[in-house]
Structure 1
Amino acid sequence: MMNALLNSMRGMLLGAMLPIWRSILLIQQRPIPP
């Protein structure tokens, strides 16, 4: 039971972090004009 809980929490964290990392990488690739 504990293992399933950890797996679901890890899946939720990955689902929340992936778009954040993608946006960070896109912002880094695109230079922001001053």
Structure 2
Amino acid sequence: MARKSATGRIGIADVAVKAGVSHATVSRVMN
């Protein structure tokens, strides 16, 4: 599902998820 995002965002989201950051926090930081 994450692949529909930009490549750069996939990298950030992937690292964030592995670090235990919630999806809401990741979205807020991206925006």
Interval containing the TM-score (normalised by the shorter chain): 0.3 to 0.5
Higher relative contact order (CA 8 A, sep 6+): 2
The higher radius of gyration belongs to: 1
Indicate the structure with greater helix content. 1
